[in-house]
Structure 1
Amino acid sequence: MKLLFGFWQKSLTAQLLSWLLIALFASQILGLAIVWDYMQADLRGSARAELSSRAAAVARLVRTAPPTLREDLIRISSTDTSRFWISDGRPVALESWVQQAFARFEVPLGELLVASDGIAFSSMGEESQLPAGADAEYFLKGATWTVVPAADRAELPVMVRYLDFAEQNGAGVIVPFDDGQVLNAAFYKNLAPSIWRTHLPLSLALTAVLVSLVAVITVRRIASPLRQLTQAAEMLGRGEAVSPLLERGPEDIRRTAVAFNSMQERLHRFVVDRTRMLAAIGHDLRTPLTTLKLRAEMVEDIELQERMLDTIDEMQAMTEATLSLVREETSVDPTRTIDLAALVESVCDDLAELGQSVRFVSSERLNYRCRPEGLRRVIRNLIENAVRYAGGAEVRLVVDPSAVKILVEDNGPGIPVDNVEEVFAPFFRLEKSRSRETGGLGLGLSIARAIARQHGGDIILAPREPGLQAAIVLPG
């Protein structure tokens, strides 16, 4: 059940189909509830009109037939749902008449149609039409004398009496003859069957199947472009090259694809323009920096000359680092599937061979789609920072249902909480000496976060006791 609910939450087809079927069933049930009473009333009216017409026909037949044939004519006029008999014209109580009708319906039609000489007129109706366990009390439920509209009286005399019994599932007609006898006609049929015994369940099932087919086709037609849009957006978020989407489907979906293609084109154009601008600035800065360096070498004061050259070298290094940061943010390396655990372990092994204190906690094989070279640089940067400032690092790979985390943990002094986000700013350094030997230029974490975000992930720094945990969080 939990799996089905999870699938229902994730699937647009399942949700739309479920709501359509719920609406269909609700409308059918509501409509049935509204018309069911009218249907039952029409059926009962038709049954009583038919009983009156049949009683009139049998009465005419009995009047014209010889007295010796009356019993046989009455017997063979019975059907599965009707019984006829002749009695004297004395007034009869309602309950007594209903009990007589029940006694005749208890006899199966096949036995009723057997002639006095033992020859059967018909083989139909071998079983009684009464419900299982029915008795005279069942027929007496709702028994009452009634009035039948003139339109349903057929050609019966004015003195005809009508009655209902068995909760209006049965009806009776008493037709008087001129000789003082009366013709009794009784009809019984369960006119309120269970809905599951009618054609409605089959009709509802066929309608549900047709609606489901149409809904599935329609939703797939809508969901297919949306699925492609989702995949393209995810790839774009990871920094991968995305081909323009096909602009197809309904107008709203097509306009969404057009907007996505336009957005992707604008982003690409913006990045290219910015890269060109920064590359031009970096190139143009090289000439004045070279000129300054030549002029600084002509300074006679050796101490001043060294300080000037150091400043120029630092400016040149910062310029090159800025261009490197821009290239990392805009580069689109080939994306492929690799064993992420093996990649992390290889970085740790390389640094350990260089004499650095790095330990990798082994984990299971994990196939992951990424840009390996960029990710290798991120992992290496975080490990080198941990070794530089804390003396060592422990690296683990953790897989969550929604993310993949590469954790680099150390036992060093950590980073103040107020500076956790500032350290990602370009050229920001906790070490204030500005010496490249002790702290670098302050671009390592900026580049590392840029690469992580190209993969759709991020780098999160969290204090621990003691030390710091640096987590590369990648989408699962």
Structure 2
Amino acid sequence: MRRFFSTTLGQILAIIACASTVTFSLFIALLFWPGGPPTPGWPWQPTFRIGSIVRVLEQTPEAARARTAEMLHQPGINLHMTDAPATCLTHTLDIEDLQRALDNEVGDHTAGISVGSCNAEDPNSDIQVLVRLHRDDRVVLEARTQRIGPEPPRITFPLFAALLFTLVGVAALSAWAVALVVRPLQRLSDKADAFGREIALAPLAEEGPLEIRRAARAFNLMQERITQSITNRTRMLAAISHDLRTPLTRMRLQLDTNVSDTMRDKLRKDIDLMQTMVSSALAFLSTGSSDEHREWLDLAALIATLCDEYAEGGAVIRYEGPGHVRFFCRPDAMQRVLENLIDNALRYGETVVVVVSIRDETILIDVSDDGPGIPEAQLRDVLEPFVRLDPARGGQPGNVGLGLAIVRDIVRAHGGELMLMNRRPCGLTARILFSQFTSGEPHH
């Protein structure tokens, strides 16, 4: 029980129960408070009778009031005029009801009304009503009456049942409403606990209030990113351990059998190969975690400069596009993207064309080659880490299948998208789309 009330649902239900109990207690107290509502039926008959008598006496000459009062005797009400009344001071709830009812009924026709009982043992058997008239407040009308019939209960079964039903209904509906809010939180808690034991889990349903839906969406994104990160690193370790085994074996055999100059050159090549694979893996692991700040960059100038550098090295490459394209990005990361795409195109093709265009506030960068292309069914697969194609575009020394994955992650970090498309009759185009509104600084 203590554990239940330590939960959100238990605490909210406890608050509702306490509030309902206080409301019920206040309602009962109001029924018995002297200023509360009068008991239906009791004060109104004597109130109307005494009220009608007061109105008549108010219009009667002073000399005739005493005789008129004696003539107005009614069953249960004795009347007489007096200038020296003995005020009775005993009060009950019924007497308070009669006092309040008379004030409302004839208070404007009198100079004051006093109601009390002269019988302390049985107050309701002798109730005194003193009324001071406006025109002569030295002489008062004294009316004697009594409480007729048994006193009805102030709390009847229908009233108690209605109040109890209201409280139970409010508590039940509140519990139901709270459960709707708490249930998604409970699922989120269970999912987070299960995620600590098992990485591959189905996404959490995004339901409930806005704040809970946002929390569920954030949890799903976190789960997806963590799962993808762990999967990529596991695959990376498997790929590197497999690819490093071959050059290490060759190096061991060469060292055991021969240390000639020719063998030294082969060893250097194997070392370079291992260095390339390790560098690619480290570059992939550092993608997205760079502390480089974004700044405005002339994207067209960067691409044109890279194309000139590759052309000076003997590559057949050209740039087509505007002279200036302003883009808000991380310059070093963007240069890595372009270099990876150009290196990939030059590896499998002889001629490379880089085209930049702007369409509807979107920057398009196309890097095209005239190589063998990629089978349509594998265009999306090659964007995943450690995916290598055989034989035309795979199997290259030092290639661990991370180049395009690195490019895709950097492009996504800039709010863009990377797509691969085959050309006709041959070749491949790597297209990057950047939205200037999502990738640049906020527009004012």
Q: Please state which band the TM-score falls in when normalised by the shorter chain.
A: 0.3 to 0.5
- TM-score, normalised relative to structure 2: 0.39
- TM-score, normalised relative to structure 1: 0.37
